[in-house]
Each structure stands twice: as C-alpha cells, then as structure tokens.
Amino acid sequence: MKLLRTIRLDPSDTFVFERAADPGEWAVSGAFMFAHADPDALEGKSRAAFRGGFLGVNSLGWSTLAQIVEASEADRDALVETLGRQLYERLSAPDLAAARAAAQEEVAFAASLCDHPGDTLIAVHRTFEDGAIREAFRSLHPRGTRKPMRAFSFLEVESEEEPREEVDLLALAQPKPSE
C-alpha cells in the first residue's frame, strides 16, 4: 500500500505557513481543518494553508507537497490512530470512536491519491465554490533517477485541470492604508 508523507524541498514552508509540517510526517489532505472557516475571511498564512497545504498528522502543520511512499498495514493503522487522537484531543471531535471513523475516511482518501509510482510528489489547490471546498491535485513525477530530489528535477505534471491564479501585481505594490 502507499500513503503520503510530507516533504520539504526548500525552507519556503517555514515562511509560507503559520506552522510548517516536519519533513517525513504522514500526511492527509487536511481540508477538514477549514470545514467551519469562512474562506473569504482567510488571510496570509491561513489562506496559504487553505489554498495549497497538506496536513502533517503529528504536528498539525502544513506542507506544500506530499510524497507517495510505500507503507505497511501497521503504518496505516498507526496513522489512523494518531489522526483519530488528534481529532479528539486537539480538534474537539465528540468522542474517540467518531474521531477514529473520521480518521479512517481521511486516510482512505489520502491513499486514493497514491495511484502513482513511489516518490511521486502531489500538490493540492483548494478553492471554495458553491458553498463547498473543492480540491484539485497535481502529480509531479521525478525526471530521471537522480537522488536527492530537487525542486527543479521534476518535469512531468498531471492534473485534473490547471489551477487558475490571478495576481494583481500593481495592487500588491501599493502601500497598505495603515502604512
């Protein structure tokens, strides 16, 4: 079986997110972290996590990329247990049984993203459309067999669709009213 682990190709996650996941943590999509958030009100690092972060299960930190790795049934069971405990103890799930059931679903979804060869990287792009969170995933396949992997050694990209980003550079250059 294959599951997702966080990976850090450069230090940018430590600047982009409020809390960066540690490299090598088991990861899930993490969209549930925004279930009760107002996406229009998200700003800065919270918005970055919403738009493009995988959740590291141990730290509840964020990672821009997740890597597909081989895992055992024991790894999967430990991941479900750890995520269940996090949902119950830190995220207010009503009871441990409900938390474990939710964790099972999250881990199953993460595993469903792993139908690519090992070492493939996965990126997520989240949007809020028609009252629901929508996720699009892209896979980045290693070019050649070089190790260690570097950000620019990935060439081939597969995606449901290309995420549409519109950035108003002129507006970003304007001073904020409080400045």
Compute the CA torsion angle 81, 47, 134, 162 (nearest 10 deg).
-120
Residue 152 domain-assigned?
Answer: yes
Residue 179 domain-assigned?
Answer: no
Q: pLDDT of 119-161, one tens digit each?
A: 999 999 999 998 899 999 999 986 665 555 554 444 444 555 5
Number of domains the chain contains: 1
pTM score: 0.79
92 or 177: whose pLDDT is higher? Answer: 92
Residue 175 is predicted with a pLDDT of: 64
Alpha helices, DSSP H only, in the chain? 13-16, 44-52, 73-89, 96-112, 169-173
179 or 16: whose pLDDT is higher? Answer: 16
78 or 158: whose pLDDT is higher? Answer: 78
Q: Which domain holds residue 73?
A: 2-173
Chain position carrying tokens 């970055």:
48
Residue 136 domain-assigned?
Answer: yes
Mean pLDDT, all residues of the chain: 86
